[in-house]
Structure 1
Amino acid sequence: MKFGKRIVLFNLFVMNLVDQPAPEVEIEQGVLSGKISPDGSFYEYLGIPYATTNSSTRFKAPLPPPSWKGVFKAIDEVDLCPQNSVFGIIGTEDCLKINVYVPVYGKRPLPVMVYVHGGAFILGSGGKLLYAPDYLIKHDVIVITFNYRLGALGFLCLGTKDAPGNAGLKDQIAALRWVRKNVAAFGGDPDNITIFGQSAGGTSVSLLLASEATTGLYKRAIVQSGSSLSSWALNRQPKWVASLIVKELGHDTNDPEEIYEILSKTSFKDLVRTKPARPLDKYLDTQLLHLPCVEKYIPGVEPAITDLPINLLTNKPKTNVSVMYGTTSKEGLFVISKDDDKTVKERDEKYIFASDLEFPSEKQAEIEDNKVRQFYFGDERMSMKNILNISDMFTHLYFEVPSILESEILMENSNMPVYNYYFNYAGGRNFLKYITGFKHESGACHADELLYIFRGNLWPFPIRNKDQQMINWMTKLWTNFAKNGDPTPPHDSQELPVRWSPSKKEDVKFLHIEDELTMGRTPNPSAYRLWKDLYNKYRKKYVDIY
């Protein structure tokens, strides 16, 4: 009898060490097998190729995915797309893989949530290190994550047939098309797809909202700490940026064909390793170089972005998509985390706005710069003494105000609901605030909401009761929106302590996510008015880059 019990216990132990197979799924490419999650609550289908790319198609839209005979074992997370790391260059060029997480139970067809990862368009992946789906899965939704090309491999933009631009965005579009075509085989509803993303992923979602190429691929969108209207969302000088890259490799040319010949023959590791610095100018632009661009019309090439997003969102809005927008209260802490006296002094010598503004004269630019300086710093100069004021400035300029302005444009040009939130919760899972050294500051840093939506293997610490409550609230709000377009439907009134009202024209309403959930007005209204006035008067609404 004792021996029998030992055998049972041993078998249970072994079962936890060996992946248990999930049901096979047949898609157009072939048959897949996956595995069951460790807790038995969902199926995992990992590393499925949704498209292909290699050195011969570098800088172009991806090719169709491969097919296979037999059963494809989708049980392992695969290499990332090439990027720099503390371990050197990691990843492989053929990296376009997708992960599908399916609840074991739940009424089919299930709503689908497709996540676009962040990472400044140069880092990251759809892997479980940060985006483990356990919290969302509990609400009976299918969660999908994926990789897309990064850096120069994803965002070199030369305006030629060989390098038209936005290969990384076109990967994202290919992933959405794959989901639309195949998710029914996993028990998902292809007519109920929500895309969501944070930071560069949120900006990507905003760009996908503006893109005509994504029409009909999704029903709802959640834009977290990003906006296609942000000054850092677009590369406005793509050929110049490309010339900086080849110069770092020892070549001096501005000719697009010559640049392509050089970079197409450069190994992907050398290409990723290349880090040209943006020469300092008078505007407060970021050092990000590898960004989406407005594409030149090229016969036979499907573009992702054909005009400035503000023009696309205004003139050709998607009138059948409901959207949720939000930011954290202290986004800028992340931006200033490596500042010192030297970097602050360099910033202080520039205008306190980015180059997406254009002024009729240098004198007018100086007048507006003085207004912004007075607002944030009074009569003082920027210094490490007022570094938190600098953080507030970046919070408003790069994240908070562009998000609000974009939501206002959608409300003006579409009748679909728009929801706004403001995440100000300081808890034990505000991981980036801890990592950047500001753990004692109030509020939430950039990306601090993520670990209340995803379990993530990055942060293995015990979860406090208050944090568990926030996880419950956040995942319920997000999945309710994905299911039916309403984050707080009436039947959930007992689980969620507030009714989240959508914003309306001339009346932007915010769900303030703190220790409690409350409805309120626009955060930081004075800063909002300052930047809105500047952008209404001086925003560049044309692009002339070719």
Structure 2
Amino acid sequence: MAFATVTVDHILADEIRIGLQNNNCRRSERTDSSRKIEFSTREVATYQRGIDFPRIELHSGIIQGNVKWLENGEKYYNFQGIPYALPPIGVRRFKVVVLVFENHVMLKLHIYFSLQDPVPYTRWKGILNATQHGPDCVQLVLRQTNYFVTGQEDCLYLNVYAPKNPLMTKELLPCMVWIYGGSFREGSSRLYGPDHFLTKNVVIVTFNYRLGIFGFLSTEDDVATGNYGLKDVLLVLKWVKGNIIKFGGDPSKITVFGESAGAAIVGYLMISVQSKDLFQQAILQSGSPLCPWALHRNPKKVAFDLGLALGYSTSSTVKLVKFLRNIDLAKETTALLNVNFVNFAEIFNNGGPFGPVLEPAGPTAFLTKNSYEILKNGNFHHIPVIIGLNTQESKFFNSLFALIRPLLLIFDVSPSSLARPAMNINPQDKRIFGTNIREHYFKSKSFFNADTEEFADFFSDDQFVRPVIETVQLLSKRVPVYFYVYDYEGTLGKQFLKLFSVDDERIKGVAHATELLYMFQMKFKEIDRFRNAEEVLVSRRLVTLWTNFAKYSNPTPVQDKLFDDIMWPQASVKNTNYYYIGRNISTGVNFKERNMQFWETLYKNYSKGPIGTY
């Protein structure tokens, strides 16, 4: 193999080691003023492009990143695998990690053990190689009928991607913090390549947060309060507030955006007193705290179910949590799967098996009151919001429909079961409430005999459309709200469905999460890059709208040919205006108006309030 010799001046030995660790290289003798590096000629271009390895001193230590290149030839500065908390292992499992700030400057980090015994966080020594992702968090991954457990508990790492050299940037750039979805059960920051956003001069932050039992186990008392995953997110935002300026990001211009469970988390951040002043804009994609799946309402039962699945029986929450802390839960695939599936049957009543919960009041409590009442009373952070839906969210869950359908027999036998506790329906009206729903959505007036399209419509409306539009209504009374409807599938969308679900041609519309394929450079080997100009155009539109919002608090601050000069109107209480993003751009009003009026009338006539989820 041919080798080339390049003389590199003024680069320290550890910089060379970090920058070239993945290249086929070898060192040669050192001269007085320089160091010679020999490496394969096929790596010359890579090394010459990546010759600057930015080193940044953070509050917790020094990191060294590297340079990567976008498809358009522009470079960006890559910092990956930065720890933002001590590993949540051993006694720190099911506990809260808290950063302490003063005037947006990190002073110290404490770990609270049931609000006792703070353990100070010490700086790492030396220079941290920040060029690779940290490990994924432990998670139960479901792919149609396949399942497996993957990840590590030591997973609390974040990534920062900057389009400009942080050491030379004069103008601070808006920062966008991405929160992935995945039913609070699975997800990873490494799946979301930031490339498209970096062409728009914003700093992107992605990160991992605890999932499933590790992120949301709750015994409904102070022994295990729950919401650890939410508090991980809170910790990241505090870290960003205190550190992003070192990467050329503007700490006064932070946008949080998320999809599905990530969108629900964004909504929870908007209503939590703990997140005050940590961000200035919010984007919620296909999710809201009002979605039935976004709040778990029987977590103590699930916690004890897990103990029983592992062969441990007790009535003591203290003993249960002590037992669970000493089990290698990542290896207990069967127990985790059983608990998830057994409690999935109750998703309509209680939310997902593991997820956000209402906590006991306390100084670190993230969520203690129902989201609906908080939003209704206006007790949330008053900031501009983008929020929206895909035209047929439930299409993503086609493979689950066959599993769910037998469970829905209960709604035929007992229509009152459709009046879920969070709806707070008058007891004497529950049966007529449920009967009205069956008659509105199904020609057969039966859940079990409903055709596929009818059931898809009901599931989309029940789990996504109804709660998201109600969120739009409540928010728009007090803050600027930009509501969108996304309706472009393309070839990537079809590949995505085949990977995660079943592409049933009878169901029209665009599935849950499809827009992500056109926003990020998704890291699925089964999914191609853009195939045609139409897909490129949709991507440019989405990314430009989102980054305009991050910069100006308005997705269309001026008329733009990219959007056919169509401005995005704000939603209002009277008219739920929306921006239609499909093959073309247009505007509309009152998405799914007939169905939404139906639900509004039901609640008005039969709910005694207060409402938990909508």
Q: What TM-score does the superposition give when structure 2 sets the normalisation length?
A: 0.81
Could you tell me which of 321, 345, 366 is aligned with 2:383?
321
Q: CA deviation at 1:17?
A: 7.6
Q: CA deviation at 1:282?
A: 8.5
Q: CA deviation at 1:519?
A: 0.8
Q: CA deviation at 1:21?
A: 4.7
Q: Which runs of 5+ in 1 are unaligned?
A: none
Q: d(CA) in 1 for partners of 2:57 and 2:343? A: 52
- 1:245 paired with 2:306, answer yes
Q: CA deviation at 1:377?
A: 0.6
Q: d(CA) in 1 for partners of 2:351 and 2:223? A: 26
Q: d(CA) in 1 for partners of 2:608 and 2:161? A: 42
Match of 1:200 in 2: 261
Q: Which runs of 5+ in 2 are unaligned?
A: 6-36, 99-108, 110-120, 412-416
Match of 1:49 in 2: 83
Match of 1:289 in 2: 353
- 1:502 paired with 2:570, answer yes
- 1:97 paired with 2:97, answer no
Match of 1:267 in 2: 328
Match of 2:247 in 1: 186
Indicate if the aligned counterparts of 2:294 and 2:355 stay in contact, CA closer than 8 A: yes
Match of 1:334 in 2: 396
What is the DSSP-based 3-state SS (H/G/I as helix, E as strand, rest coil) of the residue aligned with 1:336? helix
Number of residue equivalences: 533
Question: How far does the alpha carbon of each residue in 1:335-372 deviate from its partner, in whole angstroms, 9 at most, with x for none?
Answer: 332333x64132132244544223322x5212111111
What is the DSSP-based 3-state SS (H/G/I as helix, E as strand, rest coil) of the residue aligned with 2:160? strand
Could you tell me which of 465, 475, 479 is aligned with 1:410?
475
Q: CA deviation at 1:69?
A: 2.4
Question: How far does the alpha carbon of each residue in 1:482-507 deviate from its partner, in whole angstroms, 9 at most, with x for none?
Answer: 111010011x5233221001112222
Indicate if the aligned counterparts of 1:155 and 1:292 stay in contact, CA closer than 8 A: yes
Q: CA deviation at 1:510?
A: 0.3
Match of 1:433 in 2: 497
Q: CA deviation at 1:268?
A: 3.1
Q: d(CA) in 1 for partners of 2:226 and 2:39? A: 57
Match of 1:134 in 2: 195
- 1:356 paired with 2:356, answer no
Q: d(CA) in 2 for partners of 1:228 and 1:239? A: 20
Indicate if the aligned counterparts of 1:220 and 1:485 stay in contact, CA closer than 8 A: yes
Q: d(CA) in 2 for partners of 1:76 and 1:248? A: 36
Q: d(CA) in 2 for partners of 1:33 and 1:386? A: 56
What is the DSSP-based 3-state SS (H/G/I as helix, E as strand, rest coil) of the residue aligned with 1:278? helix
- 1:483 paired with 2:551, answer yes
Q: CA deviation at 1:319?
A: 4.7
Q: What is the 5 A alignment of 1:439-478?
A: 440=505, 441-458=507-524, 459-478=527-546
Indicate if the aligned counterparts of 1:100 and 1:144 stay in contact, CA closer than 8 A: yes
Structure 1 residues 462 and 406, CA gap change in structure 2 (3 angstroms): closer
Match of 1:221 in 2: 282
- 1:108 paired with 2:159, answer no
Q: d(CA) in 1 for partners of 2:137 and 2:365? A: 22
What is the DSSP-based 3-state SS (H/G/I as helix, E as strand, rest coil) of the residue aligned with 2:96? coil
Moved more, 421-430 or 525-534: 525-534
Indicate if the aligned counterparts of 1:135 and 1:475 stay in contact, CA closer than 8 A: yes
Q: d(CA) in 2 for partners of 1:3 and 1:244? A: 61
Match of 1:519 in 2: 587
Moved more, 215-224 or 278-287: 278-287
What is the DSSP-based 3-state SS (H/G/I as helix, E as strand, rest coil) of the residue aligned with 2:561? coil
Moved more, 467-476 or 451-460: 451-460
The one-letter amino acid of 1:89's match is V
The one-letter amino acid of 2:438's match is R
Q: d(CA) in 2 for partners of 1:231 and 1:328? A: 17
Q: CA deviation at 1:438?
A: 1.6
Could you tell me which of 103, 107, 124 is aligned with 2:187?
124
Q: CA deviation at 1:206?
A: 0.8
Structure 1 residues 82 and 281, CA gap change in structure 2 (3 angstroms): closer
Could you tell me which of 81, 97, 107 is aligned with 2:137?
81
Q: d(CA) in 1 for partners of 2:603 and 2:353? A: 23
Indicate if the aligned counterparts of 2:164 and 2:248 stay in contact, CA closer than 8 A: no
Q: CA deviation at 1:261?
A: 2.2
Match of 1:374 in 2: 439
Q: CA deviation at 1:313?
A: 2.1
Q: Determine what percentage of the aligned residue pairs are the same residue.
A: 29
Structure 1 residues 48 and 134, CA gap change in structure 2 (3 angstroms): same
Moved more, 324-333 or 32-41: 32-41
Q: d(CA) in 1 for partners of 2:158 and 2:4? A: 43
What is the DSSP-based 3-state SS (H/G/I as helix, E as strand, rest coil) of the residue aligned with 2:158? strand
Q: d(CA) in 1 for partners of 2:347 and 2:179? A: 29
The one-letter amino acid of 1:421's match is Y
Indicate if the aligned counterparts of 1:452 and 1:470 stay in contact, CA closer than 8 A: yes
Match of 2:486 in 1: 423
Q: CA deviation at 1:385?
A: 6.3
The one-letter amino acid of 1:359's match is I
Q: d(CA) in 1 for partners of 2:91 and 2:346? A: 39
Indicate if the aligned counterparts of 2:487 and 2:509 stay in contact, CA closer than 8 A: yes
- 1:153 paired with 2:250, answer no
Q: d(CA) in 1 for partners of 2:147 and 2:407? A: 30
Taking only aligned residues, the RMSD between alpha carbons, in angstroms, comes to: 2.8
The one-letter amino acid of 1:108's match is E
Match of 1:61 in 2: 96
The one-letter amino acid of 1:174's match is L
In terms of fraction of residues, the more strand-rich structure is: 2
Q: d(CA) in 1 for partners of 2:466 and 2:278? A: 28
Structure 1 residues 447 and 281, CA gap change in structure 2 (3 angstroms): closer
Query: Which gives a bigger RCO, structure 1 or 2 (Cα 8 Å, sep 6+)?
Result: 1
Structure 1 residues 463 and 280, CA gap change in structure 2 (3 angstroms): closer
Could you tell me which of 560, 570, 594 is aligned with 1:493?
560
Match of 1:304 in 2: 366
